[in-house]
Structure 1
Amino acid sequence: MKLIIFDFDGTLVDSRKLIIESHRVVFGQFGFAPPSEDESLSLIGMSLELVLSQLAGPDAPVGNMVAAYQHLLPLLRADAAFAEVPFGGAADLLAELAGHGDVRLGIATGHVSKAVEPALERFGWLNHFCTVQTADKAPSKPHPAMILQALGESDVDADDAVMIGDTAFDIEMARAARVSGVGVSWGYHRPDRLRAAGASRLATDMAELREVLFETISSSRREL
């Protein structure tokens, strides 16, 4: 059995507009100048509390800001101008992988459960995943807990798992859990940063990611 764990934002969906607008609104509500787009996107993947602490400073009312984000998120998702959009080919790839009897799928995201699960359900993806690891279940990336918990829930060994992500935090988390980490170049961290974090492979589009994953699956079958 092979476990393929996906990051969400920047890997499966383009959430750039949602992230930037949510920062603009919430920072404005609390009297802070909103961070730049580069600052905002550089921290995607970490838990929201850590992101806000870095962007707004340690003295910011982080708990209240997090609550404001959780209230705002469904409102922005209901607006087509800001809602996440799956990257081309993501839905087909997930459906194809989910159809393989010897493959299990997981999610590891900086979102909390009540934020990511409605999005997965909206895209028709929720049933694809046997494990969904979120910021309310484990420490923030790059701590390895999300992957370790996913392995336990899936009953898969680390040698038979791979983490797919667009940020250095995803790759560092994979390395800490002794799992192979594959980077994707269409997300929020540059390819050189993913390589420096230790990505074993780097996919430049969804078709190449498919090749990498099915090559991994085929290799596991040959070993058996």
Structure 2
Amino acid sequence: MTMSDLRLVLFDCDGTLVDSAKLIHEVMVRTFTHFQYAAPTLEQTKSIIGLTLDIAIARLQGKAHADEEAVGMMAYYKSIFLQTRSELGFEEPLFDGIREVLTSLEAREQLLIGAVTGKSRRGLNMIVQTHQFGKLFTVSRTADDCPSKPHPAMVTECCDESGIPPSRTLVIGDAIYDMQMAKAAGATAIGVSWGYASVADLLSAGADAIARTPDDLLRLIG
């Protein structure tokens, strides 16, 4: 097998691999309440999952850009995240069928698997440790490494590191930001229907295909 035979599959994390909306929303509610703002609704929180945290907070406040206050709220969010995560009922479980799909993909010699996530590096490491992913992700980029989605840097940097061009790269995610990021990078965008954005929104954002079950990913990746 040569490099020209390899393909890169980059997974978003929240809403694609793990169901983290309940946890993210609870931490966001506690953060907004601490800063004496009205708490966002669950649907509002779902709409910003995938963005870098300071930008996500600013969006929930109706701001176009993250300002000093949003950065301060981000710091508070991070400071209470682990404690909230440890409480009963706020785990980040894998979606049903995801582990089996990842195991199948990992066994394919022609594929390299990576992660592109709005989580921090610490957050991604916790997911890897919690779900015993081992060395599943050959390459990865987080909110600590790159500009927020939909900027294409997460994808292009993973491509550069792996030596696989965007034309042979698939980005799998549940958010419009994932689809926009993939298309901006020149990669194939596959949306998943079990996450936090509607299928219609994913298609409008540029999805080349939609996986309606995890098993669909095995067919779409080929």
The TM-score by the shorter chain falls in which range? Answer: over 0.9
Letter in 1 for 2:87: D
**SS of residue in 1 equivalent to 2:135:** helix
**SS of residue in 2 equivalent to 1:61:** helix
TM-aligned CA distance change 1:183 to 1:101, over 3 Å:
same
2:10 to 5, 18, 31: 5
Kindly, what percent of the aligned residue pairs are identical? 34
1:16 and 1:63 map into 2 onto residues whose CA distance is 21
TM (norm. structure 1) is 0.92
1:46 to 39, 45, 51: 51
Question: After TM superposition, where is structure 1 displaced by more than 2 Å over at least 4 residues in a row?
Answer: 56-60
TM (norm. structure 2) is 0.92
TM-aligned CA distance change 1:126 to 1:75, over 3 Å:
farther
2:147 and 2:168 map into 1 onto residues whose CA distance is 23
Corresponding residue for residue 26 of structure 1: 31
Letter in 1 for 2:53: L
- Cα-to-partner distance string for 1:2-48 (whole Å, 9 max, x where unaligned): 10000000000111110110111111111111111111111111110
Deviates more, 1:66-75 or 1:169-178: 66-75
Corresponding residue for residue 61 of structure 2: 56
Gaps in structure 2 of 5+ consecutive residues: 1-5
Letter in 1 for 2:146: A
Corresponding residue for residue 100 of structure 1: 108
| Paired residues, number | 214
The alpha carbon displacement at 1:198 in A equals 1.1
1:212 and 1:35 map into 2 onto residues whose CA distance is 35
Corresponding residue for residue 36 of structure 1: 41
**SS of residue in 1 equivalent to 2:112:** strand
Corresponding residue for residue 145 of structure 2: 137
- Cα-to-partner distance string for 1:185-209 (whole Å, 9 max, x where unaligned): 1101100000011111001111112
2:127 and 2:167 map into 1 onto residues whose CA distance is 30
**SS of residue in 1 equivalent to 2:16:** coil
The alpha carbon displacement at 1:80 in A equals 3.5
Gaps in structure 1 of 5+ consecutive residues: 216-224
Deviates more, 1:50-59 or 1:131-140: 50-59
Corresponding residue for residue 167 of structure 2: 159
Matches within 5 A, 1:197-216: 197-213=205-221, 215=222
**SS of residue in 2 equivalent to 1:24:** helix
1:121 and 1:162 map into 2 onto residues whose CA distance is 24
